[in-house]
Amino acid sequence: KTIESLGDLKGKRVLVRSDFNVPLDADKNITDDGRIQAALPTLRTLLDAGAKVVVVAHLGRPKGEVNPDYSLAPVATRLAEVAGVSVTLAEDTVGESAKAAVAAMGEGEIVLLENVRFNAAETSKDDAEREAFAAELAALADVFVSDGFGVVHRKQASVYDVAKILPSAAGLLVLKEIESLGRAITDPERPYTVVLGGSKVSDKLGVIANLLSKADRLIVGGGMAYTFLVAQGHEVGTSLLEADQVETVKGYIATAKDNGVELLLPVDTVVAPYFGADAPATVVASSAIPADQMGLDIGPQTRTIFADAIADSKTVVWNGPVGVFEFEAFAEGTKAVAKAISESDAFSVIGGGDSAAAVRTLGFDESTFSHISTGGGASLELLEGKVLPGIAVLEG
Ligand code: 3PG
């Protein structure tokens, strides 16, 4: 259901679930406001329609307790700047402050409720507890718009239960995400290449398993590549390794072979004696990583192999950086992957908070990618082929 299905919204209170879980530095400055920018089309549509927009969102995982470190105050300030309207931050989520702010608001204004995860019921496993809290949220509005794509894989009160109480619709961001990721997942133009990186194999087991019957080519880099290298019989020094996943990965390597999926792993690696921005970097063959060194990026030969594979693809999905791109000395691999995707004519989807942040912080033009997803876990679960509760509830 789309926003139009909710009818005339003039003067109506619209509760919008957004994903404003943005990275903050130690001084509480937002270091990447991609998720705030991505929320604007829906918010503008609602404001232009004369709605009173009440936004509910979370920041981090404050474990059900009020904690000023996780306040949405920096988000309220940035949202006001980028949306160009006044944003009132309520001091609580469903309490007196929230009720008063909503009662006082005018058409075309935004009230941002304080971090919904300050309330333990939001993430409770107990259905009744969540439903009771969702009813309090619902009492603040007339209709609900679900637009926090990054959180639609969570069965939480402000994502799932509230949609069962109020007339509900998917926001523009959620629609765009589902359409773009769906195009890559269900009907990819081939060759279909998936690039996986990031630190942990265990985060991506479901994705890999699902892709072994769908993708033509699987490229693995980042911290998770070392578990693959060990599964192939190599030593990886002090690199990240998930020893308990080696057997599973061996199974994946065999399945890839059986299914004719081309599996590309780093053939050379940039290593250093320790993890740090100033660590001295050397390039070695991936089959000869010294015992006292750790791999922190893919090497130059691998960059070329990965880039060529990407150039030869019609659909590319990328999730997770292939090196420690936050450190300049180990950013070349991730830059090379981003560059190859941005220069290719393939339909490209960048999924996962880290790769999306990499694309932006490394200075790539966002318009050269077909779609940059705002979802981390949510986009991974879609790639796994899972049904996401926050989407299913809108369809039901
Ligand atoms: C994210 O950052 O991926 C989303 O905001 C979801 O956050 P969560 O993993 O804490 O539920």
Domain boundaries in the chain? 3-170, 178-383
Answer for the pair 238, 252: CB distance below 8 angstroms, yes or no.
Answer: no
Residue 353: pLDDT over 80: no
Which residue among 18, 20, 21 has the greatest number of ligand 1 atoms within 8 angstroms of its CB, and so is best to mutate? Answer: 21
- Binding site for ATP: what residues are annotated? 204, 295, 326, 352-355
- Calculate how far, in angstroms, residue 22's C-alpha sits from the geometric centre of ligand 1: 10
- The reported pLDDT for the residue numbered 289 is 98
- The reported pLDDT for the residue numbered 39 is 98
Backbone dihedral region for residue 80 (phi beyond 0: left; psi -120 to 50: alpha; all else: beta): alpha
What fold does the segment set 3-170 form as a domain? Rossmann fold (3.40.50)
| Residues 145-173 pLDDT 10s | 999 999 999 999 999 999 999 999 999 99
Nearest CA to ligand 1 atom 7: 151
The helix/strand/coil state of 194 is strand
- Calculate how far, in angstroms, residue 146's C-alpha sits from the geometric centre of ligand 1: 15
Active site residues: 35, 200, 353, 377
Residue 186: pLDDT over 90: no
* Alpha-carbon span 177 to 173, nearest angstrom: 6
Instruction: Output phi, psi for 296, to 5 deg.
Output: -125, -5
Does 57 contact ligand 1 (Cβ within 6 A)? no
Does 21 contact ligand 1 (Cβ within 6 A)? yes
Answer for the pair 321, 198: CB distance below 8 angstroms, yes or no.
Answer: yes
ipTM over 0.90: yes
Other beta carbons less than 10 A from residue 330's beta carbon: 25
Does 151 contact ligand 1 (Cβ within 6 A)? yes
Q: Quickly state the pLDDT bin for 349 (edges 50, 70, 90).
A: very high
- Calculate how far, in angstroms, residue 160's C-alpha sits from the geometric centre of ligand 1: 15
- Calculate how far, in angstroms, residue 100's C-alpha sits from the geometric centre of ligand 1: 29
Q: Which of 101, 74, 105, 103 has its CA nearest to residue 90? A: 101
Does 17 contact ligand 1 (Cβ within 6 A)? no
Does 353 contact ligand 1 (Cβ within 6 A)? yes
Which residue among 32, 116, 151 has the greatest number of ligand 1 atoms within 8 angstroms of its CB, and so is best to mutate? Answer: 151
Domain 178-383 sits in CATH at 3.40.50.1260
N-to-C CA span, the chain: 10
- The reported pLDDT for the residue numbered 333 is 98
Q: Cα separations (Å) of 234 from 175, 225, 286, 336?
A: 44, 11, 8, 25
Does 61 contact ligand 1 (Cβ within 6 A)? yes
CATH topology match: 3-170 vs 178-383: yes
CA contacts within 13 A on the Cβ side of 49 = 19
How many H helices and E strands in the chain?
Answer: 14, 15
Other beta carbons less than 10 A from residue 159's beta carbon: 28
Percent of the chain with pLDDT over 70: 100
* Alpha-carbon span 365 to 125, nearest angstrom: 41
The helix/strand/coil state of 16 is strand
Q: Cα separations (Å) of 375 from 34, 35, 311?
A: 11, 9, 25
